[in-house]
Amino acid sequence: MDISTAWAADLAALTESLDEPGTDISQTLRQLAADTKIAVHSYLGLSAILSVGGRRLEFTALEEDAEPEDIRASLRISFPPALSGSEDPAATASLILFAAMPGAFLDLATDLSWLTGSLDGLDTAAFVLDEDLTVPHDPAPPSGLKARSTIDQAIGVLISQGNTPEQAHHHLDLLAAYTRVDQPTAAEAILAEPDQPSTAGLRADDRRPAHTRPQPGADTHQPPQDP
């Protein structure tokens, strides 16, 4: 299974958010793909879809020589929040397997349904055959989960320094605009110097930058100080 560098970064961020030592989502997906290929010889790839906290992550990884138009069979497995490890009651998680031969997942779906049902896990409605014959999203671009995680961490640092969530987001926006970088890069600058005052270079009365352009020799990691 081919996992791009960008997708690997997203999966690493998701693994880190689980805070479970020994967990590696990327390795788990690789092992799942290898095991599925043994059970279903025409296996082409998989998609994982996670929706939690108002965010949606879509991940698709096809085998090296597989193309989306080769898909003739699919098996979608839907997990309730209790099994997906989320405390969000509205969270959803689904795994979709793809194959080139029609009906390729019939036996696997039957076996999994029986096995999980006997363990009080998933019921038969959680397994859907051949209704997902197209990938749910373009398999090339990553979701930006790594960037989102960096921004969230930086916001957390700013809040820990006494800012409200609104002030923290405002500060990050100002820092990105002042240094002419995107938000993830500005967030990385905050994380690189977490002990710096979060309001450095911001006027106490209106929390706007003291200057609109960098001055020669100015520190590009923080908005400029008041004169």
**pLDDT tens-digit series, residues 18-74:** 555 666 767 777 888 889 999 999 999 998 887 765 667 777 888 888 999 999 999
Q: What share of the chain is helix, strand, coil (3-state, %, to 5)?
A: 40, 15, 40
Residue 43 structural domain: 5-129
State the burial class of residue 171 (Cβ atoms within 10 Å of its Cβ: 0-12, 13-18, 19+): buried
Give the number of domains in the chain: 2
CA–CA distance from 6 to each of 12, 25, 92, 97, 160 (Å)? Answer: 10, 14, 23, 21, 30
Residues 12 and 78 grouped into a single domain:
yes
For residue 139, being part of any structural domain is answered with no
pTM for the model stands at 0.57
100 pLDDT higher than 90: yes
Residues 9 and 70 grouped into a single domain:
yes
10 pLDDT higher than 50: yes
The whole-number average pLDDT for the span 94-122 is 86
Residues 35 and 108 grouped into a single domain:
yes
The whole-number average pLDDT for the span 117-131 is 79
For residue 57, being part of any structural domain is answered with yes
Residues 124 and 155 grouped into a single domain:
no
Residues 17 and 85 grouped into a single domain:
yes
Q: Are strands 55-62 and 127-129 parallel, antiparallel or unpaired?
A: unpaired
223 pLDDT higher than 80: no
For residue 85, being part of any structural domain is answered with yes
The whole-number average pLDDT for the span 158-162 is 88
HSE toward the beta carbon, residue 130, CA cutoff 13 A: 11
For residue 223, being part of any structural domain is answered with yes
Closest C-alpha to 135, from 23, 60, 49, 33: 60
Residues 118 and 188 grouped into a single domain:
no
Residue 204 has which token pair? 């106490």
Average pLDDT, the chain: 74
Q: What pLDDT, on a 0 to 100 scale, did the predictor assign at position 50?
A: 76
For residue 108, being part of any structural domain is answered with yes
Residues 174 and 217 grouped into a single domain:
yes
Residue 62 has which token pair? 């096809």
Strand partners, 56: 51
Do the beta carbons of residue 62 and residue 3 sit within 8 Å?
no
For residue 22, being part of any structural domain is answered with yes
Residues 36 and 119 grouped into a single domain:
yes
Residue 147 has which token pair? 């960037």
Residues 106 and 177 grouped into a single domain:
no
